Amino acid sequence: MNAEYRFCRALLLGFSQITLHSNALTGLLFLAAIALNSLWMCLAAVGASLVANAAAFLLGARREHLEQGLYGYNAALVGLGCAVYWPLGADLVMIIALAALLSALLMRLLIEPLGAQVFTAPFILSIWLITAFVGVEPVAVEPVSRTGLDNLLLGFGQVLFLDNPLSCLLVLLGIAVASRRALCWGAVAIVLSSGFAFLVGEVEEVVFSGFYAYNAVLVAIALSSRRGSDALTLIAAVLLSVVVTGWLARTGGVVLTAPFVIVCWLVLPLATRLNGQGRTRMPG
């Protein structure tokens, strides 16, 4: 493979790794979804990914990790998050570059001890550290009448900060290309998390915005991809993600994908132990 092909493939794999997949077509569909939602968000995500990969190379990252897109996905999320939380301007470009560098450094530090279970921790920590110093203005959201179908689409789209219905459809298609199993369990997670959020008293506008669903989707994808995982553990983890999301929201901080990471770090060791005791694998 020539250098240009490897470079483009690594970039696309970085986007597909956002949903824990390694599929260049999935990455391309995600990139198209972002561009359809906002060209500026697309530029921010690609730029942050390039900065992080360059920094990781200088930090001595393993070549296979770079080529697998492992330094790209957290940085892409950093770019998307920054584009959403701060107004466009020269300051934002500096913020994105700094956050991307920070995500690369954190990934370099965490990938050896944690391996694949780093998940999106570098993205979360980078944004939290930047907001601690820079601050973040609450994103103004105009009330919009949404339906259950909107919630289903946004549950997938909000994983990448997207709210355009067509963009959300492309995200859904990207996941389907990588794994129909992940798509199915992601849809189940959206239904379960939304129903549970209603049950504990959350208002319709918040639930149908996908606020509780996107972390549940990531939890479902992560657990459904683990050999030997069982349905009961997955369902419990999805419901737990709703609890953690609500708790973090009440603290007043930026939630991001922290519920996904927290729940996976809590549940995966338990799931591994239960698997060792002969629990039945979930249906595919």
Say whether pLDDT at 201 is over 60. Answer: yes
The domains of the chain are located at: 38-134, 148-276
Q: How far apart are CA 158 and CA 208, in angstroms?
A: 11
The CATH architecture that domain 148-276 belongs to is Orthogonal Bundle (1.10)
Q: What is the pLDDT of residue 269?
A: 86
Residue 282 pLDDT grade (very low, low, confident, very high; cuts 50, 70, 90): very low
Q: Residue 235 to residues 84, 85, 142, 239: CA-CA distances in angstroms?
A: 30, 31, 32, 6
Query: CA 92 → CA 42, 85, 182, 223, distances in Å?
Result: 14, 10, 34, 35
Task: State pLDDT tens for residues 114-143.
Answer: 888 899 999 999 999 999 888 766 454 454
pLDDT for the residue 148: 66
What pLDDT shows up at residue 280? 36
The overall average pLDDT reported for the chain is 90
Q: How far apart are CA 250 and CA 188, in angstroms?
A: 26
Cα angle 75, 81, 87; round to 5: 125
Q: What is the token pair recorded at 259?
A: 């519920």
Q: What is the pLDDT of residue 1?
A: 60
What distance in Å separates the CA atoms of residue 41 and residue 85, rounded to the nearest whole number?
Answer: 11
